[in-house]
Amino acid sequence: MSSMQEYMNLGEQYILKTYNRFPVVFEKGDGVRLIDMDGKKYLDFAAGIAVFALGYHNKEYDAALKDQIDKILHTSNLYYNRPSIEAAEKIVRTSGMSKVFFTNSGTEAIEGALKVARKYAYLKDNSKDYEFIAMNHSFHGRSQGALAVTGNAHYQDGFVPVGMRAVFADFNDLEDVKSKITDKTCGIICEVVQGEGGIYPAKKEFLEGLRALCDEKDILLIFDEVQCGMGRCGAMYAHELYGVKPDVMALAKALGCGVPVGAFVTGEKASHALVPGDHGTTYGGNPFATAAVSKVFDLYESEHIIDHVKEVGDYLYQQLEALKDKYSQIIDHRGLGLMQGIEMDVPVGNIVAKALNQGLVIISAGANIIRFVPPLVISREDVDEMIRILDQVLSECGIN
């Protein structure tokens, strides 16, 4: 039997190196813990980058997927299938929006959302010269369209020509956004809580202002809730916390709780922009992926996930505030629900690595921010254990 190191060596040999992976091979998961090939257990406060909201091996979730495997996995979108219809109904019902298109990822959901906005504008004036306003320090995905609206040149350079890029404004600066609007603007896109950009929640007046601008100019407002949606911030969709509804919303990550699936959701105004032939996908909305989505919504309701996030999210906030008070090199703490971060005045890579050695999985957001996006089913005791390990690691790293 090959060792963990031998598997890592094989991975380096055969997998294209676009990630600097941590030196561990995770083999199994149980609840809120990961288990590597050697049997070592790790408390998971990353959830596969905000994906495994229900934790590992929720029995009802697993049973629903096994049941679907025994029925049918794929039919294509040339035909109807029951799980996709049931899942779409649950998204529409909970969001108060109108139509759903299922994708395979968050990036694809963003691509579809951008196409909706372009087509909506095209139907008004038949022009092809459109541009988006997006936010500095945003992240929307790795395909060219998603990169074009990602406000970080580090991701764009070498892939997206300058002429293809969006017009960028400062997040939470409404006057800056207003100054960038022209007759070419077809949509405004932003995350409700910036994730990769450093865990920055939007301000209520900012989102309200974006909504008013889009209504005034008859352009579409797109919210990227790939990471901050699906209960993570203490509401099923983060924009509910602000009372501001988008014209198009992108979802993924916890939407399938481990099965690769995303969706873009349109409000009434945007629902008629795309017609047959305008957009498509072979795998998107297949019965297996959407059976996962449907069961996720059922379990959120039966297990009262949103209420739990509010309670444990408040507790996590209190404990991270106490940690911030203890260490002067923690210069800020922010976030909503179970999407929080602490900003430090030093790079956090070594802290993240040492925490992994101590059996705690955390991740960064940028160079100086530790991001906490655990399974939504964590307990107060899990928070206490995380704080204890992190406190020890910070001390060992000479943080003061």
Q: Are strands 220-224 and 248-251 parallel, antiparallel or unpaired?
A: parallel
Length in residues, the chain? 400
Which tens digits make up the pLDDT trace of 160-199?
988 889 999 999 999 999 999 999 999 999 999 999 999 9
pLDDT of residue 1: 55
pLDDT of residue 125: 87
* 323's tokens: 């940690």
Which tens digits make up the pLDDT trace of 218-275?
999 999 999 999 999 999 999 999 999 999 999 999 999 999 999 999 999 999 999 9
> Is the entire prediction scored with pTM above 0.95?
yes
Neighbours of 98 (CB within 10 A): 15
Report which of residues 163 and 4 the model is more confident about: 4
193, 260, 275, 326, 341 from 199: Cα distances, Å: 6, 23, 36, 21, 6
Residue 370 is inside which H or E element, if any?
A: strand 369-372
Instruction: Determine whether domain 4-54+304-396 maps to CATH 3.40.50.1240.
Output: no
Find tokens 């969709």 and name the residue.
237
Domains of the chain, by residue range, sit at 4-54+304-396, 61-302
Q: Give the Cα separation of 350 and 331 in Å (integer).
A: 17
Residue 131 has pLDDT above 60, yes or no: yes
The closest alpha carbon to 73, from 83, 60, 58, belongs to 83
Residue 126 has pLDDT above 90, yes or no: no
User: Would you place residue 2 in the very low, low, confident or very high pLDDT band (cuts 50, 70, 90)?
Assistant: confident
Share of the chain above pLDDT 70, in %: 100
Which tens digits make up the pLDDT trace of 338-382?
999 999 999 999 999 999 999 999 999 989 999 999 999 999 999
Residue 127 has pLDDT above 90, yes or no: no
H-type alpha helices, 230-359: 287-302, 305-326, 349-357
pLDDT of residue 257: 98
Residue 62 is inside which H or E element, if any?
A: helix 59-69
Q: Give the Cα separation of 297 and 291 in Å (integer).
A: 10
- CA 306 from chain center: how many Å? 17
Asked if 344 and 398 touch (Cβ cutoff 8 Å), the reply is no
State the average pLDDT over residues 34-48. Answer: 98
Asked if 238 and 193 touch (Cβ cutoff 8 Å), the reply is yes
State the average pLDDT over residues 273-302. Answer: 97
**Fold classification of 61-302 (topology level):** Aspartate Aminotransferase; domain 2 (3.40.640)
In whole numbers, what is the pLDDT of the chain averaged over residues?
97
For CA atoms 227, 231, 234, 240, the dihedral sign is positive
Residue 106 sits at φ, ψ, to 5 deg, of: -65, -40
